[in-house]
Structure 1
């Protein structure tokens, strides 16, 4: 069987110069903006982070216990 050439269309997406300028402005002071948000809403951040990190720690400890349990 011979090879049949197939024509492909290439589509390139890019941001317009105006949107690139806005995007750079959004990422300009990311560290300052996140720290300001955290300082303004630290109680909400704790209520979000503590259960997530606690669940992750519990799951890791449980997985380790299961490994050790099946080892013997």
Structure 2
């Protein structure tokens, strides 16, 4: 999966916040406050993203091993 340079910065930021005791709901509010577009908004290249994150999307990112810097299929 290829992602843009800006989008690639988001998962490590989410993991870092999680390590620092932010839960999924707190994370979604923090990302909204920082005006970070959601994955869907980034993929659609929205001009005016709403940046409305939900806890479910945060959990999906945290559950993906490639976002946690694990080796996946030697990639």
With the length of structure 1 as denominator, give the TM-score of the two structures: 0.28
Greater relative contact order (Cα < 8 A, sep 6+): 2
**Rg larger for:** 1
With the length of structure 2 as denominator, give the TM-score of the two structures: 0.27
